[in-house]
Amino acid sequence: MRELTKREIEEKEEYIKTLRGKEEYKFYFSDESLNMPVRAWMDGGYYIDLTEYAGTFFLGAIKLQEEANSFGVVALIRQLVEEYGELCLWCYKENKQSMRFHDTFERSKKWNVKRFVDKKISLIMIERWENEKLGKFKKRI
């Protein structure tokens, strides 16, 4: 996994705009205007971005290469939760792959997760463990 420079982020974001409207990318775009990511990474063929909305950090991912493998995303999530205190991920409920990812996080005892689901979306918030729980958490890893 490699963290991108600001210039590389701008280039990827411009490219991603050209994917809007394509069926295979329908779950990546929302109807909201997006802030520019504060950080981003390439992991295999996946572009992973961290964007701030009203003081809350959201992590997003999009597959840019046909044969993409992303093995570092869980380690990245762990690192960002420690760094920022909390991290949110959302997906459309129609996106079965992302919903399985949300289900896995929600069931896991290794993560401090809150989940909110409405008619269209699933949102998970992953928070840093409190100090008393941190010791137990680290023993399980």
The architecture in CATH of the region 2-140 reads: 3-Layer(aba) Sandwich (3.40)
Q: 70: pLDDT confidence band, cut at 50, 70 and 90?
A: low
* pLDDT attached to residue 108: 86
Residue 24 CB partners (closer than 8 Å, separation 6+): none
* Res 33: pLDDT: 57
Task: Provide the residue ranges of all domains of the chain, joining segments of one domain with +.
Answer: 2-140
Which tops the pLDDT comparison, 44 or 125?
125
* Residues above pLDDT 70, as percent of the chain: 81
**Mean pLDDT to the nearest integer, 13-27:** 80
What mean pLDDT is predicted for residues 77-106? 90
pLDDT of residue 134: 46
Q: How far apart are the first and last CA of the chain?
A: 21
